[in-house]
Amino acid sequence: MVLGWSELGAVATVDASARTTVNWKKPSQKKAYPKFKNGDWLIVNIKKQRVYVARKKQKRALYTMVCSTGINNSTPRGTYHIQNRGTSFYNASSKEGAKYWTSWLYNGIYLFHTVPTNKRDQYIKSEAAKLGKPVSHGCIRLTIPDAYWIYKNVPRGTKVYIH
């Protein structure tokens, strides 16, 4: 998918992950993940429930991930940067956790992460089935492989644009 750079901020084009049911155990696209380069960034389109891996020099989205952002507009909009990361967490008050988290705001309050897990670190299938719809508390939920790819490949300081 090739776009003009001004269009990339909106990324309002057809993507390969337009399935009705998302398999939360598999990557969002059948193609290989891109090799992340210096200057690449992540764009989150709340309306489309998608995360785009973008390359400014080539003015195009390299990869599209299905996501779930916050219910009732609880995902902050704006430009942020990747901060810390970890393999898993559990929040007793919400009775949910997740794996492969990467923070982008307030050092761990807002994250990219997998679909939710329970206190035993097991994926909650009923929550995973909602992937692609706004259902989180503000974080950005992803399939397991997509969250793992961001966790392993997107460096600290990478720009994250959410609209």
Q: Which of 67, 137, 139, 163 is catalytic?
A: 139
Closest among 133, 94, 136, 142 to 114, alpha carbons compared: 142
State the catalytic residue, choosing from 81, 113, 137, 163. Answer: 113
Cβ pair 81, 103 in contact under 8 A: no
Phi, psi (rounded to 5 degrees) for 85:
-155, 160
Residue 144 identity (one-letter amino acid): I
163 labelled catalytic: no
Q: How many CB atoms lie within 10 A of CB 8?
A: 22
67 given a catalytic annotation: no
Q: Which residues are catalytic?
A: 113, 139
